[in-house]
Amino acid sequence: MVCRSLRKTFPDCQTGKRLGEDLDLKGPEKNLQLQVFCSNGEAVALGSHGSCSTEVEKETQEKMTILQACFQQNKDEVLDNLLAFVCDIRPEIHDNYRING
């Protein structure tokens, strides 16, 4: 039983027999060690992608929570400022306006 992680770890090794010699194992010990090594390597390889997406998802949720909290804190102040600006009407005559008469 040879998996991709074995070939990456031991590039010159093409068979489990050769790997068993490298690890100095014999018989059922070798088979068990190869299975454990393969399953660990595959779990690490597959788990890295899963943990990355989980980590990104977690960071995204944290950022969204912070943004929502800031939004709630500043919402009333922003609306008050906007309404004050819109409702602040000062009738003035522009300097360039010419009165004919």
More confident residue, 43 or 29: 29
- pLDDT, one tens digit per residue, over 5-20 is 555 555 544 444 455 5
Crossing angle of helices 27-87 and 16-23, rounded to 10°: 90
Burial zone of 34 (CB within 10 Å; 0-12 exposed, 13-18 middle, 19+ buried): buried
Closest CA to 62 of 51, 74, 72, 70: 70
Q: What is the pLDDT of residue 64?
A: 96
pTM: 0.38
- pLDDT, one tens digit per residue, over 52-61 is 888 899 999 9
Closest CA to 26 of 37, 15, 36, 34: 34
In the chain, where are the structural domains located? 4-63
Alpha helices in the chain (DSSP H): 4-9, 16-23, 27-87
Give the residue-averaged pLDDT of 53-72.
93
